[in-house]
Structure 1
């Protein structure tokens, strides 16, 4: 039988939303930082480039 959920208080709702947005903000900052490092050529990981793809085809 279906039972209605309990309502979340405004304070808990705001806290939960703040934490959720904070996590998203941190992930966005990491993605931006990674993108900047790739563009500047200072990245510390290997990723395929167009030159590598051409070498593999031959």
Structure 2
């Protein structure tokens, strides 16, 4: 007969959640940094398409 699984401890659960949230926090920080560098025009390693209208006017 099947036995119920053991309950996961709160510390294991909290550690797993902290790792998951930490990864998300790091990705958000990198995205914000990239966005700021694009807005200031200092982005060197990021290529993005520019509208043709802007190039014709300038």
- TM category, shorter: 0.7 to 0.9
Q: Distance in 1 between matches of 2:27 and 2:3?
A: 36
2:29 is the counterpart of 1:29: yes
Per the alignment, residue 19 of structure 1 pairs with 19
Q: TM-score, normalised by structure 1?
A: 0.75
> Match of 1:21, SS?
helix
Unaligned segments of structure 2, at least 5 residues? none
Per the alignment, residue 50 of structure 1 pairs with 51
Distance verdict in 2 for CA 1:47–1:3, change over 3 Å: farther
Unaligned segments of structure 1, at least 5 residues? none
Q: TM-score, normalised by structure 2?
A: 0.75
Per the alignment, residue 40 of structure 2 pairs with 40
Cα RMSD (Å): 2.5
What's the CA shift for 1:51?
A: 2.0
